[in-house]
Amino acid sequence: MIRFDRIWVNVQLATMVTGATDRGEIRDGALGVCDGKIAWIGPRAELPESVAAETRDGAGGWLLPGLIDCHTHLVFGGDRCGEFEERLEGVPYAEIARRGGGIRRSVEGTRAASPEQLHRSAEQRLRRLIGEGVTTVEIKSGYGLETETELRMLRAARKLGAEGFVSVVTSFLGAHAFPAGMDRDAYVDLVCGPMLDAVAAEGLADAVDAFCETIAFSPAETERVFQAARAKGLPVKLHADQISDSGAAALAARHGALSCDHVEYTGEDGVRAMAEAGSVAVLLPGAFYMLREKQKPPVELFRRHGVPMAVATDANPGSSPLLSPLLAMNMACVLFGLTPYEALLGMTAHAARALGLAADRGTLEVGKRADLSLWRIGRPAELCYWMGYGGGLLVERVIGGKPSTPARVGLV
């Protein structure tokens, strides 16, 4: 006799287990949870004798892993709508950055914001992600570029996680841009030394990220940041090859990066290096769309070399003010040519892997954390099909086996 804390019945299951037959789909399934973990999953007809403290009827809906947005910059002050207008008039993103706008504009807004303002504005945005089934979100720093503000951003992110409605994974992105008026070497020294020391001492980062690009950190500077990160035992990831191919993905792979993100300009050598290192390619179609880029990521090469592809919103005030994970999946299909199944893997199993959490979540399997999303849809691909209807499709989210409280997170 199995005892469950809770069991879902009358559901279709999309387990997102890669390599399973029928894409891991189970019709008329059941899923039982115990102590926050998935304790049993399979066709309802095969359910062994069991008792459950609570039975939830899924009304024939589809149960998936909770969605995982593995690349966001949700915490920031101010906005960059003015630059959006400039870009529409033809000023390129890189040109705006060179003039001191872009990321530096958000740095001004973020430095000026109080901890409460940072927390409250990020929470508003987080509600939109949660309202579309997100149960784990990665949040980066990188709009402080000075120790105190970087710490403030990461603390705000940790606080959002501590509230319990979503798991928050943080990345320290001190190497996002160079602060105005500071010598490059001196800033890299600061990031690799006192800044990273302070971040690590407070346990504020789960990984270290950098922006390796002609308009940002050079490969040599990125290398220094990675060495410092690894000396602290922190995994690395990289904004790589977004607007040019500087061999950034290969560099990140050499450091065993969890993921290489953007990767539009990554060539076959880089893809091969990622495959060998097991790095995930995080595709960010929101930034591609918003910046009206032309170069698409090498999806066919990723498939051929077996590099897992994740999909994320890249939610940020400049290049991707996108707060809809479902629209990100739609864009990954329409703009980059992913199949809906690949896009769904990109926001579940592969996103978990990009965060180093594959053993714990991202698929519906016995022993994994019971983070779930239940949807009123006829088939999983529908999640990639509608545009702007995500909240209407979500029936409930489940965090660690417990249905989340919709009122507190703005779902009702």
The residue ranges that bind ligand DI6 (CB under 6 A) are: 73, 102-103, 106, 176, 211, 239, 242, 287, 314, 316-320
Give min distance, CB of 17 to ligand DI6, in A: 30
Give min distance, CB of 71 to ligand DI6, in A: 8
Closest CB to ligand DI6 among 319 and 404? 319
Give min distance, CB of 299 to ligand DI6, in A: 18
Q: Does 138 bind Fe ion (CB under 5 A)?
A: no
Q: Does 213 bind Fe ion (CB under 5 A)?
A: no
Among the residue ranges 33-41, 49-57, 77-85, 306-314, the one whose residues contact Fe ion (CB under 5 A): 306-314
Name the strand (E) or helix (H) holding 230: helix 219-231
Beta strands of 241-279 (E only): which ranges? 259-262
Closest CB to ligand DI6 among 106 and 324? 106
Closest CB to Fe ion among 123 and 314? 314
Amino acid at 205: A
Count of beta carbons in the 10 Å neighbourhood of residue 264: 21
Contact in structure between 93 and 86 (CB atoms under 8 Å):
no
Strands 25-34 vs 55-57: parallel, antiparallel or unpaired = unpaired
Residue 363 interaction partner, one of ligand DI6, Fe ion, none, beta carbon < 5-8 Å per kind: none
Give min distance, CB of 77 to ligand DI6, in A: 12
Taking Cα atoms as reference points, which of 177, 146, 219, 181 lies closest to residue 318?
177
Amino acid at 395: V
Amino acid at 94: A
Closest CB to ligand DI6 among 320 and 363? 320
| CB burial of residue 23 (10 Å; 0-12, 13-18, 19+) | middle
Among the residue ranges 12-20, 82-90, 192-200, 307-315, the one whose residues contact Fe ion (CB under 5 A): 307-315
Strands 50-52 vs 37-43: parallel, antiparallel or unpaired = unpaired
Residue 318 interaction partner, one of ligand DI6, Fe ion, none, beta carbon < 5-8 Å per kind: ligand DI6
Question: Which residue in the block uniquely carries the two structure tokens 């086996």?
Answer: 401
Give min distance, CB of 140 to ligand DI6, in A: 8
Closest CB to ligand DI6 among 314 and 371? 314
Closest CB to ligand DI6 among 316 and 373? 316
How many residues sit close enough to Fe ion to count as binding (CB under 5 A)?
Answer: 1
Report the C-alpha gap between 114 and 46 in whole angstroms: 55
Closest CB to Fe ion among 314 and 365? 314
Cβ neighbours of residue 348 closer than 8 Å, sequence gap 6 or more: 16, 64, 65, 67, 68, 362, 363
What does DSSP assign to residue 383? G
Helix (H, G, I), strand (E, B) or coil at 338: coil
Give min distance, CB of 213 to ligand DI6, in A: 7
- 308-337 positions binding Fe ion, by CB under 5 A: 314
Closest CB to ligand DI6 among 6 and 239? 239
Q: For ligand DI6, which residue has the nearest CB?
A: 318
Counting every residue written for the chain, the total comes to 412
Cβ neighbours of residue 229 closer than 8 Å, sequence gap 6 or more: 172, 196, 207, 208, 235, 236
Residue 121 interaction partner, one of Fe ion, ligand DI6, none, beta carbon < 5-8 Å per kind: none
Give min distance, CB of 207 to Fe ion, in A: 13
Closest CB to ligand DI6 among 135 and 171? 171
Contact in structure between 184 and 221 (CB atoms under 8 Å):
yes
Give min distance, CB of 224 to Fe ion, in A: 20
Give min distance, CB of 112 to Fe ion, in A: 22
Q: Which value, in Å, is the radius of gyration of the alpha carbons in the chain?
A: 21
Report the C-alpha gap between 87 and 93 in whole angstroms: 7
Which residues would be at the binding site for Fe ion (CB under 5 A)?
Answer: 314
